[in-house]
Amino acid sequence: MRPESNPQPPPSSPRGEQALRRLELDGLIERDGAVFRTTRRWQGAMARAALQLYRAEEQSADLRIPIVCALLELCGEDQPPALIADLTEAMLPIEAGELDPRRGR
C-alpha cells in the first residue's frame, strides 16, 4: 500500500484524537503505517448498514449515513449524539479511503 494514495489528515482537535483512539480501542480501525484501515468487524457493520439502507430505499450518497448506522449498531443507540458525531467525523476520511479505487492494497 502506498500511504499517499489514502491521505488522512491528522485529527484537528483533541476530540478528533479521542474519537480515533476510541475507534481503535473498539477494534473498528487499525494502523497500517501512517494511515488507519478499517477492520473486518467494521466492514461487517458497514455491510449490514448498507443492506438496511437499501431495504429502506435510502437514496442518499452521503457516506455519513451508513457510518452512523454502523456506529449505532456497534456502540449502542444510547450513546450521546455528540459522541456519535465525533466518531463519524473521525471515521469518514478512513472509510472514504477504503472505498477509493485508486488506492493500492
CB 33 within 8 A of CB 6: no
**Pairing assessment for the beta strands 35-38 and 29-32 based on DSSP bridges:** antiparallel
Residue ranges covered by each domain of the chain = 13-99
pLDDT digits (tens, 9 = 90+) for 88-100: 999 999 999 998 8
Residue 38 and residue 17: Cα distance in Å, rounded? 16
Reported confidence tier of residue 11, pLDDT bands at 50, 70, 90 = low
The per-residue pLDDT for range 41-56, each reduced to its tens digit, is 999 999 999 999 999 9
